[in-house]
Amino acid sequence: MCGRFVSTSTSDEIAHYFGAESAPEATIEPSWNVAPTNDVYVVLHDGGTRRVATHHWGLVPFWAKTPAIGNKMINARAEGLAEKSAFRNAFKKRRCIVPVDGFYEWHKVEGQKAKQPYFIARTDGEPLAFAGLWEEWRGPGGDRSESLRSATIITTAPNDLMATIHHRMPVILPPAQWDGWLDPANADIDTLGRLLVPAPSELITLRPVSTEVNNVRNRGAHLVDEVPLVRNREILEA
C-alpha cells in the first residue's frame, strides 16, 4: 500500500512538469509527511483541459452515504479495478495522476517491535507520477452544497527492489503513458489495465529513515534523512 508520501512542489511547478494548467486558487503547504484525509494535488483532464487540482486523499464514491468511507479507500488495488463497485466507474472515466516527491513504506525487522520506515524516491530526483482515480461526491441526494472531490492511489505488485521491504507498491506512470491514462474518452479497459504494472527497480532508490515519520504531526524535511539501520539492537551499515 501507500500510506504516506512527500509533496513539496507548488501548483505551478507541478503544472510545468506535467504540461498542465496551474491552480493558483488551490494552495497546499509543502509537507514531508502527507497522510490520508489530507488534501493533495492531482493532475487530471477536466473539461477538456489538463490541469492541476486539489482533492481529498481517500476516495469517496458517488453512491456513498457519508465521506467517512474515504478513510478506507486511500489505495486501490490494480487487480480487479474494472469489477469493484467502488472503483470501476472512476477507472473508466475519472483517472488522474498524483504527483509526489517520494513516499514511505514500513518493513518488519526481526527482533524489533517497531517497523523500520523507508523513504523511496526516483534515482534522478524527478517527481513520481502515481496512477490514481478521482470521484466527486455530491452529498446525500446529490446535494451539491456538500460536494467533495477525492482521489485514491493505485497499487500493484512490487518490483524486485520494493519486494525487499514490502509486498505492494504504487503504480508509477512514465511520461509516455500520461496522455492515454488521463484521457477521459479512453475507455479501453484492457489497455489501461496493462499500464498498472511495477516500475523498473532501477527507477527508484530507498533508504531507512527515522520513525519520527510515524507521527503525522511531524512534517519537516528532516524526515527523509537517512538513518543507520537497526537490527536486533545492533547498528548495521545501511
Instruction: Considering the candidates 2, 83, 146, 234, report the single residue annotated as catalytic.
Output: 2
Euclidean distance between CA atoms 172 and 96, whole angstroms: 12
232: left (phi over 0), alpha (psi -120 to 50) or beta: left
105 is catalytic: yes
SS (H, E, C) 133-188: EEEEECCHHHCHHHCEEEEEEEEECCCCCHHHCCCCEECECCHHHHHHHHCCCCCC
How many helices and strands, by DSSP H and E, does the chain display? Answer: 4, 14
Terminal Cα-to-Cα distance of the chain (whole angstroms):
23
User: Cβ neighbours of residue 16 under 8 Å, at least 6 residues apart?
Assistant: none
Euclidean distance between CA atoms 207 and 119, whole angstroms: 5
Residue 107 cell numbers, joined:
518493513
79 is catalytic: no
Euclidean distance between CA atoms 8 and 14, whole angstroms: 10
Which are the catalytic amino acids? 2, 105
